[in-house]
Amino acid sequence: MLFYSCLVIVIVAVAVVTGSHHDYHRPDKKHRYKQEKPVRVVPFGQYSSSSYQLCNGPVVFNNQDGNTLTYVRGGDSKFGGQKPGIFLTLGFGLASGSTRGEVHLWRRYNGVDLPYSNAIQTVENGNSYVLPTFGILDYSVGHQETFVMSTTRKNEVGLIAKQPVNQEPLIPSITHLAIRLDDGTKQIPYAQLYSTQSQGISDSNAHEITFDVGQTSLQGITLSSDDLTTITFSETGLYYVQAAAHVGGSGATASGNVHLWSRLNNVDIANSNTIQTVIDGSKSVVISQGIMVVQAGDTMELVFSSTSDSVGLVADFPKGEPANPSAAVSIGMIANSENLMKTPYTQLSSSVNQFVDDCSNEAQIVQFDVTGATIQRMIYDTSDRSLVFEERGTYFIIAAVQIGSETGNNETGSLDLWMRLNGIDIPDSNAQQAFPNAGTAVLPNALAIEVKAGDRLQILFSSTNKRLGLIGTTVADESYVPSIIFTAFKAMNTRS
């Protein structure tokens, strides 16, 4: 049992991303990032916490002074809600503890719980799990945003930071990022959709996810009133899509896999599938993300299936908390038709199973497939498996790996995932996921960061068991499940 009082315990000082003050920007002598100013100021924030957080209440973030942070900064480097606009926001908690229990994580906006912002993760003894929550939010000047958590086992289960012993970056107890997608006028097409209906329990066939018509935030994007499954785009452009499903079972012994992928114009999007295992009624969140060019009038659906009729998408309604939706999707325009060819972005994946040969040696750099890759104004260098930025600016980056066993047998262990820029590990960029016995899980990690032309990004992973790694899977009549899905784009903040 953990014998902690309900105080925040800080284990390591946190390094915060502070734009032009990155000390890991050292590609060569030609690039002096500290002396350059960005072409366009893009409001964004990247924050984390080195604290153990084992009690109900607001989540604490730490900056270099150990103070609680608000979330978005403008070009003047002051924290707070000075910049209005449409923001993509993501939070990743590291749920862990010494016994079985649940961690709930949600957000408050100006002191009021955001409806349907809750996410729930079941924690097993001693294991760690990434708990994601995200949204497209309309930020106003002077807004205040707070993350809140609750636990079913106070002082034993919560959000826990870890410092790996093998010189990896800190694994924060929570990471939060926010990046503005528009130019501050709030005119871009975007959507935030939820479902408060449990779906798929007692039926393991593939289904399109049904959303709630009354719980939507839509602009330039519509949801079909006929079936509540079809999303239609009214404007041609480049769009980012972040989807999630809350998976669980019908009882304490319910077990099986839940699959989540996307369709565009009734055709499965290649390499968009992800899988999450439910064991003994456990609850967790599976995500799938991507960036795509759509034409006005194009339609998309989110699709799920399961390997057992006892598991599926589960909505929860905890007392005194926001609802935990069975599914959610955030969609935001990155570039309109005029800026489509000007915007740097990439969508990468891998069909290669990837493992660390010796768990005591240096971590493995993730390998991507060249065939089928979508890359514009960026370069994937196969010689060192790095993504090279051709333009300086503010970028959103997300990687989601599918962890599994090489043998398919029961295995134990965990996998860490972090990012490296110009050969230097990015501070506090680590995340960890325990491996479910005889199952599989998605481990996501994300970053909002300012980079220079010529900077090189690598994705790394390590494993406590050399038979655990990144696994790709072919599923009949579904999109392929890659070992990693990677998305990056430059935030342009303009429609002209």
Condensed to tens digits (0 to 9), the pLDDT of residues 147-187 reads: 999 999 999 999 999 999 888 999 999 998 989 999 989 99
175 and 35 assigned to the same domain: yes
307 and 416 assigned to the same domain: no
Residue where one domain finishes, among candidates 336, 368, 385: 336
| Closest of 273, 307, 338 to residue 472, by C-alpha | 273
Residue 375 lies in a domain: yes
pLDDT in tens, 252-265: 999 999 999 999 99
Beta strands 274-278 and 327-336: pairing type?
A: unpaired
Residue where one domain finishes, among candidates 180, 214, 242: 180
354 and 485 assigned to the same domain: yes
How far apart are alpha carbons 223 and 331 in whole angstroms? 12
115 and 50 assigned to the same domain: yes
pTM for the full predicted model: 0.90
Return the CATH number at 449. Answer: 2.60.120.40
Spatial contact of 191 and 79, defined as CB atoms under 8 Å apart: no
Strands (DSSP E) along 307-427, which ranges? 311-313, 327-336, 345-350, 364-365, 374-376, 378-381, 386-389, 393-405, 414-421, 424-425
| Torsion angles phi and psi, residue 450, rounded to 5 | -95, 130
| Closest of 145, 147, 151 to residue 132, by C-alpha | 147
How many independent structural domains does the chain possess? 3
| Closest of 443, 401, 409 to residue 128, by C-alpha | 443
Query: How confident is the model at residue 301, as a pLDDT?
Result: 98
How far apart are alpha carbons 173 and 21 in whole angstroms? 24
259 and 377 assigned to the same domain: no
Query: How confident is the model at residue 7, as a pLDDT?
Result: 46
Spans of the chain, pLDDT less than 50: 1-5, 7-8, 11-35, 37-38, 64-79
Tokens 């993760």: give the residue: 121
How far apart are alpha carbons 173 and 93 in whole angstroms? 6
Residue where one domain finishes, among candidates 336, 355, 372: 336
Domain extent, residue 307, equals 190-336
Residue 3 lies in a domain: no
Half-sphere exposure of 492 (CA within 13 A, CB side): 20
Residue 495 lies in a domain: no
| Closest of 91, 93, 77 to residue 44, by C-alpha | 77
157 and 220 assigned to the same domain: no
For residue 28, give every residue at least 6 positions away whose Cβ sits within 8 Å of its Cβ, in sequence order, or none. 454
Classify 341 as helix, strand or coil. Answer: helix
Measured distance between the N- and C-terminal CA atoms of the chain, rounded to whole angstroms = 58
Strands (DSSP E) along 265-376, which ranges? 267-268, 274-278, 284-294, 299-306, 311-313, 327-336, 345-350, 364-365, 374-376
Number of helices (H) and strands (E) in the chain: give both, helices first. 0, 38
How far apart are alpha carbons 165 and 380 in whole angstroms? 30
14 and 163 assigned to the same domain: yes
167 and 242 assigned to the same domain: no
309 and 196 assigned to the same domain: yes
Spatial contact of 246 and 313, defined as CB atoms under 8 Å apart: yes
Residue 276 lies in a domain: yes
161 and 219 assigned to the same domain: no
Residue 496 lies in a domain: no
169 and 43 assigned to the same domain: yes
453 and 413 assigned to the same domain: yes
